[in-house]
Chains A and B, each alone.
Chain A
Amino acid sequence: MAVLFLLIAQLALALVLAPLVNGLIKSFKAGWQNRRGPGLLQPWFDLVKYLNRESVVSEHASWIFRWAPIVYFSTHLAAAGLVPMFFVHAPLARVGDAIVLMGLFALARFALSLAALDTGSNFGGMGTSRELTFAALVEPALILGIFALAIPAGSTSLDDLTHGGIGAAALLALAALFIVAIAETGRIPVDNPDTHLELTMAHEGMLLEYAGRPLGLLLWATHVKQLVILSLIAALFFPAGLAQELTLPALALGVASYVVKVAVLGLALGLVETSYAKLRIFRVPELLGAASLLGLMAVMATYVVGG
């Protein structure tokens, strides 16, 4: 029963906080680039606007196009229940572990990629092709970063990996997973989340044919995905502040520290976005390969340094 309340609280927090984190990153980037920026609450206003609008569906689209947004939304929301956010145990920890988290991301991407090919136009194919290439190259980096923590702990359950610690292995794994975070959230230098131009059409290309309510659900889910990835890094490497028991002061401290951690990590993403330019498509594999190597070095570091 407590698990159910924890799940509802965690998912509600994720749904409310996710667009705000996106707004925070946008405001920070704007400030850093000497602009006014759209404001912290703008992503929420955009979501409500899209959810109220009429949706236009291509005449060539099938049931896959209509159902993909809800599959995308539900998988990312389920992923939000798998990561410990403010309590040491994630509510769905007994239903899935880190590998299930990767599988859920893959399921979401599969659904959206098929929907992008469903409309009969070419932009979807462009986005699918690039996004799936990057996703395939990110998978080894993600699994190696997680294995670097999982091998000493002997488990892939995210509850067992929240031990933090400063060491060579943790630092290398943090570097690898930070690059993974940049790639999975579709930020510069891998992809540009702010435009729909053809040059930067990876994730945004797959959303291009959607309008109205399905687009609102997809954008909300994309914000939740970003939050989940930031929460993963926060839980694995900065677990200070996680509530150890289900009492109100501990949970309040847990939520407050969680918001601070996610905000700082989001600002780090924004800083990277402002400092770098977008890489050419065929330079991105070099970055992702470097992330995989960092992950492999993190795996070895425990045994070379720690002993």
Chain B
Amino acid sequence: MESPEAQNWLAPVGLYLIGALLALILPRHARVVAHGIAGVGSLIGVGVALSALLAGTVQQVHLFSAAPYAVFTFRLDPLSAWFLLVLSTVACAVSLYAIGYLGEEHGGLSGLGAGYNLFLATMVLVVLADSVFAFLFAWEAMSLVSFFLVIHDHQHAGVRRAGFVYIVMTHLGTAFLLGAFLLLLVNSETLDFAGFRAAREHLTPLMRDGVFLLALVGFATKAGVIPLHVWLPRAHPAAPSHISALMSGVMIKTAIYGLVRVAWDFAGPGPAWWGVLVLALGAVSAVLGVLYALMEHDLKRLLAYHSVENIGIILIGIGAAQVLTALDQPAAAALALAAGLFHVLNHAVFKALLFLGAGAVQRATHTRDLERLGGLIRTMPWTAATFLVGAMAISALPPLNGFMSEWLIFQGLLRLAGATRDPLAVAGAAAAAGLLALTGGLAAFCFVKAFGIAFLGISRSALPQEPREVVGTMRAGMALLAGLCVALGLGAGGVMTLLGPVTVSLVGTVPQAGVGVMAVPAAPGGAVAPVGALGVLLALGGVGLLLARLLGGPARSRVAPPWVCGIALEPSMQYSASALAKPIRIIFRALVRPYRAVEREHAALPYFVTAVRYEAGVLPVYERYLYRPLVQALVMLAQQVRALQNGSLRLYLGYMFATVVVVLLLTR
């Protein structure tokens, strides 16, 4: 449907562009103006997305064509609307947070504000793009703008290095995407996605597999799937916290959007092995991601590895949906797909919340190192409370949103196991469920570590200044996301209804799961009613207090110093982050590859040790065994090719002459 008049569904993009412009024009007011306009734009985006999902309509516009191949067409269909909803929800809270967070930044605010708005605009354009040129233009712009945002603190060498790795990896992914689009363009008549959809039946199986594999590698690089994840733990900690929240919460989800588009819309429902591959990649990323996260004691690197883990969980849902589509089970496929997309929204919300909390901690204490923190719950109670909600959500604890989407993914895996009678396939689906359960348990462990070490106990080091609670706008942004975690968990049934149009447009039916509010009506199948569960928990808590009062009389308590075998309590007596995770480091050493180096300095004899130096870490397996050999091979190849350029002008003129002759012969 072409509606050339008011394209008010493109209003968010317009507002972001206005915000970027105003940030550049008004440098002194950039902080409030830029992020305020971004907040308003994202509110409008939420409205646009919700109305599109509730109405189930599709809207399209063709803006202009700069050249016959440079067609700018945009389309808002249910899948795009869902990802627009994810983006706008998170952007709203992050914009509010950024107003307070940047209050202590002293330079480059107009650039940061403009970059923030452009980042949001390009991400919206990626999910709205309906032609190859529009998609690639928006994708590349998104990568470039995020690169400049990541290297905002470019005085530090580590930040520059992180930005370099990021830009190289993202361009590698884009190259694979280009290959996939070129393959699709062979059969398509027009240069927009409608042409791809029309040409779906004409794809040969080989081309279809090629498109899927190229697109998978390209999008997996952006999403951070192992082993293409190496940029994620470098780039996300290096960027300012609100940018990390957006990158981790939203940008990596645009890759999931692209994968779902290719897997169902462009290359059609494919053979079952596509889904098995995605499922396997998801399971591996989930387990390895959480294991690497457990080894970290830098709060933001820990959160970055958890993004790898949650992308793995999303891919488990998407992969299960692909296999179920291939097995001709549309209802179960809709359930698994809806579960994966629900986890996209949930992860965006709680990951952004956690990154904002980490930013608040860094603001207050000037460190990200867990080994130096402790006891922040007393000085930063609001940050602690919202971080706790985020930690409970990501650990998949009922009745919050993380538990609801993982429950749905388990149901999807159950349907997958029930859809086939081959013992190996059933074992594969069950093994995926086992790995998902392992991931959930390890994630809960990791967040007990992160929250417990940073916020509870006593401070483990003398910080440069007394930490104080952060400003109101930062707290408001975090509180908004924390409230969403609770609301999305309790209202999971409503979210599944919202996902109905999305699954109908992709697999043909609505998802049906036993998700209720207070209680689920009697029907075969598992059931979960989050509001009912919360009510039961609260009621039984009251029962417990009543029973204790009845059996024990009035409560008496007094406060005393903790007992540590009669000596004075030192902060270093508490468990450290590395100590908490040590059993996991030892048990999973084959997967994680930890190393330990101990050096002792001594005086005249080895018995009189004067200093001990202990270093422990994780071997960079992927850099050492995958990337370094590839880079070295590339450098060797480049050095061979270099022989062609020996500096002689006559040789270069000869090359040009030969090229002209060859071109004339070919285009006769």
Q: Which residues of A lie under 8 Å from residue B417 when comparing CB positions?
A: 147, 151, 299
Say whether chain A's binding surface is mostly helix, strand, loop, or mixed. Answer: helix
Q: A100-B398, A155-B524, A300-B427 are in contact. Are A136 and B438 (CB under 8 A)?
A: yes
Across the interface, which residues of A come within 8 angstroms of B378, CB to CB? 62
Assuming the contacts A57-B558, A60-B458, A121-B564, asked whether A102 and B437 have C-beta atoms less than 8 A apart, the reply is: yes
CB of B66 closer than 8 Å to a CB of A: no
Interface residues of A in 150-188 (CB under 8 A from B): 150-152, 154-157, 160
Question: How far, in angstroms, from A114 to B453 measured CA to CA in the complex?
Answer: 9
Interface 0/1 of A23-40, CB less than 8 Å to B:
000000000000000000
Query: CB distance A300 to B532 under 8 Å?
Result: no
- Which of A81, A100, A120 contacts B569, CB < 8 Å? A120
Q: A60, B536: Cβ atoms under 8 Å?
A: no
Complex Cα spacing A51 to B546, Å:
12
Q: Mark A118-140, 1 if CB is under 8 A from B, else 0.
A: 11111011101110110111111
Contact between B522 and A122 (Cβ–Cβ < 8 Å)? no
Tell me if B452 and A92 are in contact (CB < 8 A): no
Contact A57 B560 (CB under 8 A): yes
Are A144 and B430 neighbours in the complex by a CB distance under 8 Å?
yes
Chain B interface: which of A211-219, A226-234, A235-243, A252-260?
Answer: A211-219
CB distance from A65 to the nearest CB of B (A): 9
Residues of B within 8 A of A139 (CB): 437-438, 440-441
Residues on the A chain within 8 Å of B105, using CB: none
Verify B555–A144 contact, CB threshold 8 A: no
- Whole-angstrom distance between the Cβ of B345 and the nearest chain A Cβ: 19
- B574 / chain A contacts, CB cutoff of 8 Å: 117, 120-122, 125
Asked if B573 and A121 make an inter-chain contact with CB atoms under 8 angstroms apart, the answer reads: yes
> How far does the Cβ of A116 sit from chain B's closest Cβ, in whole Å?
8
> Of A51, A130, A132, A154, which one neighbours B548 at CB under 8 angstroms?
A51
Which chain B residues lie closer than 8 Å to A143 at the CB level? Answer: 410, 433-434, 436-437
Contacts of B433 in A (CB 8 A): 143-144, 147
Which of B421, B445, B540, B561 is A136 in contact with, Cβ under 8 Å? Answer: B445
Q: How large is the interface on A (under 10, 10 to 19, 20 to 34, 35 or more residues)?
A: 35 or more
Question: Chain B contact residues: over half helix, strand or loop, or mixed?
Answer: helix
Q: How far does the alpha carbon of A281 sit from the alpha carbon of B525 in the complex, in Å?
A: 38
Q: Is B107 an interface residue (CB 8 A)?
A: no
**Chain B residues with Cβ under 8 A from A5's Cβ?**
none
Q: Is A282 an interface residue (CB 8 A)?
A: yes
Known: A95-B532, A129-B575. A140 touches B435 (CB 8 A): yes
- 9-residue interface stretch from B223-231, B354-362, B513-521: B513-521
- As a 0/1 sequence over residues 42 to 84 of chain A, the CB contacts with chain B under 8 angstroms (1 = contact) are 0000011001111111111010100000110111011001000
The number of residue pairs between A and B whose CB atoms lie closer than 8 Å in the complex comes to 288
Q: Evaluate contact between A94 and B521: CB separation under 8 angstroms.
A: yes
B584 within 8 A of A: yes
| A260, B395: Cα distance in complex, Å | 37
User: Quick one: which of B550-609 are within 8 Å of A by CB?
Assistant: 551-553, 555-564, 569, 571, 573-575, 579-584, 586-587
Contacts of B573 in A (CB 8 A): 121-122
Determine the chain A residues whose CB is within 8 A of the CB of B563 once the complex forms: 121
Interface-lining segment among A103-111, A189-197, A266-274? A103-111
Q: Which residue of chain B is the closest to A101 with respect to CB atoms?
A: B398
Q: Judge whether B617 is part of the interface by a CB distance below 8 angstroms.
A: no
Chain B residues whose CB sits within 8 angstroms of the CB of A104 once the complex forms:
398
CB-CB under 8 A from A47, the residues of chain B are: 551
Question: What residues make up the interface of A, taking CB atoms closer than 8 Å to B?
Answer: 11, 15, 47-48, 51-60, 62, 64, 70-71, 73-75, 77-78, 81, 92-100, 102-104, 106-107, 109-110, 113-114, 117-122, 124-126, 128-130, 132-133, 135-144, 147-148, 150-152, 154-157, 160, 209, 212-213, 216-217, 281-282, 285, 292, 295-296, 299-300, 302-304
Interface CB pairs A-B, < 8 A, 7? A52-B553, A97-B514, A120-B562, A122-B575, A151-B414, A217-B548, A303-B421
Q: Lowest 4 CB-CB distances: which A-B pairs, in order?
A: A125-B575, A51-B552, A136-B441, A156-B526
